[in-house]
């Protein structure tokens, strides 16, 4: 439990391919949940230190929710090599199992940015989070679930230069479950100049969860 109360703590978790490098942004004043944040594509410089992933973690932390970020296999000091999505979902599973073993009796939250949003979306089935955040998803490239058992939030810029924004909106509109949407007019894929707004809007939603 102490790990989740420290301001920041870096450590390793045993994963399916060896060690998984992770960091926790803790809440010294106490926590009301633990969030797992998944980073963008490992083959395109995506790491747990990505600015959007970092902003998501800070939004959780400042909302009283400890946040754990981790490097997928083959990134940073995490063992292994790119797993074509399936392997990264298994990395998420290992992180979730580690969290469960810490006997932290608080709800889980789950978020992912870009490629990491696909991993988070697929991980919902076993993490069973209280709330899911999908940021700038490459919905036209990867298969995403068509329903979620928890409240979900899509955050998408209209000027996304990496993932087609309309694909994200079409996917959200096709869901059999409800999803809230935060649209960032003229927002880029990496939310350049809009990270403060991203954090503010997410914290507003978290205050109501």
H or E element in which residue 182 lies = strand 180-184
Give me the DSSP letters along 110-138: EEEETHHHHHHHHHHHHH--SEEEEES--
> From CA 175, how far away is CA 172, in angstroms rounded?
5
| Domain range summary for the chain, segments of one domain joined by + | 2-206
Structure tokens at 64: 């009283």
pLDDT at 103: 67
pTM for this structure? 0.97
Domain spanning 2-206, CATH architecture: 3-Layer(aba) Sandwich (3.40)
- Provide block-wise average pLDDT over 10 residues at a time, the chain (209 residues): 80 97 94 97 97 98 97 98 98 96 88 98 97 98 96 98 98 97 98 98 97
């Amino acid at each position: 439990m102490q790990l989740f109360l420290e301001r920041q703590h870096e450590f390793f978790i045993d994963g399916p391919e060896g060690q998984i490098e992770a960091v926790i942004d803790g809440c010294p004043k106490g926590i009301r949940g633990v969030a797992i944040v998944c980073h963008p594509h490992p083959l395109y410089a995506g790491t747990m230190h990505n600015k959007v992933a970092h902003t998501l973690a800070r939004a959780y932390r400042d909302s009283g929710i400890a946040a754990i970020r981790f490097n997928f296999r083959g990134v940073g000091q995490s063992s292994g090599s790119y797993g074509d999505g399936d392997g990264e979902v298994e990395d998420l599973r290992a992180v979730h199992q580690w969290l469960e073993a810490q006997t932290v009796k608080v709800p889980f939250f789950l978020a992912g940015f870009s490629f990491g949003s696909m991993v988070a979306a697929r991980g919902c089935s076993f993490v069973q989070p209280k709330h899911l955040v999908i940021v700038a998803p490459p919905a036209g490239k990867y298969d995403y679930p068509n329903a979620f058992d928890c409240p979900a939030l899509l955050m998408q810029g209209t000027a996304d230069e990496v993932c087609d924004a309309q694909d994200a909106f079409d996917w959200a509109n096709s869901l059999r479950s409800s999803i809230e949407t935060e649209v960032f007019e003229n927002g880029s894929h990496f939310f350049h100049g809009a990270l403060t707004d991203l954090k503010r809007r997410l914290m507003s939603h978290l205050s109501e969860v």
